[in-house]
Structure 1
């Protein structure tokens, strides 16, 4: 009997990526909610190097890092493909996923949580540059890979839900339809999908969480 466990946090975009992939493949799994202030022995044993979520445990074997887990799920289980079949298209998808999950995410996170002052505008400009690249890539597209959600869209899952909530919590607004029309159109398409709606944390809870974080870090405008 196949046993699948996901160690994660319900409000984490990283955990939600993995849950989306498991549901897209029709994989039954057990979700184990972790307390990151008091990490379980199972998490520390399963990810001794990074000690982070998410971790997928498949038949007793741990797989770490959300984007690596997505590729593993795509290869290990039957069901709709998450990555393109064509090798070139797969390479392109991996490139954009790495950009969105790396350089773009880092710039956006720093801009959202930057304190108001002289340096903030410079930090915001760096984030705008990253988001403009994404906006250009989405020109004329419904989703990154065509007409259905795929690997790259899930890599960018933090933008349409988490970013908007942090913007409201901090007052640091980055994404507008005037600046990024293609990105905003994609966000609407992404959030309108039933499989996405069913895989989002409670918005009110997340807003309260980020407001408390913003107050603690003194970044509210």
Structure 2
């Protein structure tokens, strides 16, 4: 991975230091990335930037399909830390259907996450169900692999952090398994859990539950 080539600075989301807004990122959002004299924010934009500007086989390449190569990416909280994936395939953009569907899914990430967080204000299990059904249906689009575009790609990277958190919270707080009746979603999560670069950076489930209880579910 690129851990030895970058400097990670942890930010307390509940008490962000003044210097971060004043000297680093005026919008005061986390995460952000400083590289080559400029600072970027927004998780999905950072994923794309790291994919395009750092070494390794890209997760959204412009060339022919490549498999079983190392892939490096950064995402933490909404982005995983930089890591490598030696068992992943990447998107074959020679397939126009995959390219188009991948772009549609990436443009839907904000809507997907908003729907999940809005569900916390009502009947969470019922209101979040259509959101996970969307993912189940999307996973059936291609049959050449268990991921959203068949092969592992940047699209999976964009969705899994949010699915991971809600999978844990709904199971622990609401005693509901989001994979029940959704075999493709269950397989997708299972296959992603085989990727070391992802599993090494997963947060402690109890920390996620406590965070959600404190910020979104005080009644629980």
The normalised TM-score by structure 2 is 0.71
Q: Residue 50 of structure 2 aligns with which residue?
A: 73
Cα pair distance change 1:158/1:74, threshold 3 Å: closer
Q: How far did 1:190 drift?
A: 1.0
CA contact (8 A) 1:54 1:66 kept: yes
CA contact (8 A) 1:84 1:90 kept: no
Query: 1:106-121, aligned counterparts within 5 Å?
Result: 106-111=114-119, 113-115=120-122, 120=123
CA contact (8 A) 2:171 2:177 kept: no
Distance 1:162 1:28 in 2: 28
Q: How far did 1:155 drift?
A: 0.9
Distance 2:19 2:103 in 1: 30
The answer to which structure has the higher helix fraction is 1
Query: 1:1-221, aligned counterparts within 5 Å?
Result: 23=1, 28-44=5-21, 45-48=23-26, 50-85=27-62, 86=93, 88=96, 89-99=98-108, 101-111=109-119, 113-115=120-122, 120=123, 124-125=126-127, 127-139=128-140, 140=143, 141-148=145-152, 150-171=153-174, 173=176, 175-178=178-181, 180-213=182-215, 216=218, 218=219, 220=220
Cα pair distance change 1:74/1:161, threshold 3 Å: same
CA deviations 1:115-137 (Å, max 9, x no partner) are 4xxxx27x834x32232222112
Cα RMSD (Å): 2.6
Larger RCO: 1 or 2 (CA < 8 Å, sep 6+): 1
CA contact (8 A) 2:33 2:46 kept: yes
Distance 1:64 1:154 in 2: 17
CA contact (8 A) 2:40 2:46 kept: yes
CA deviations 1:156-201 (Å, max 9, x no partner) are 12344211222134317361321x2211211111122222111212
Give the length in aligned residue pairs.
184
Distance 1:191 1:160 in 2: 12
Distance 1:215 1:145 in 2: 34
Cα pair distance change 1:31/1:91, threshold 3 Å: farther
- Give the gaps of 5 or more residues in structure 2: 63-92
Cα pair distance change 1:28/1:93, threshold 3 Å: farther
The normalised TM-score by structure 1 is 0.71
Aligned residue for 1:56, secondary structure, equals strand
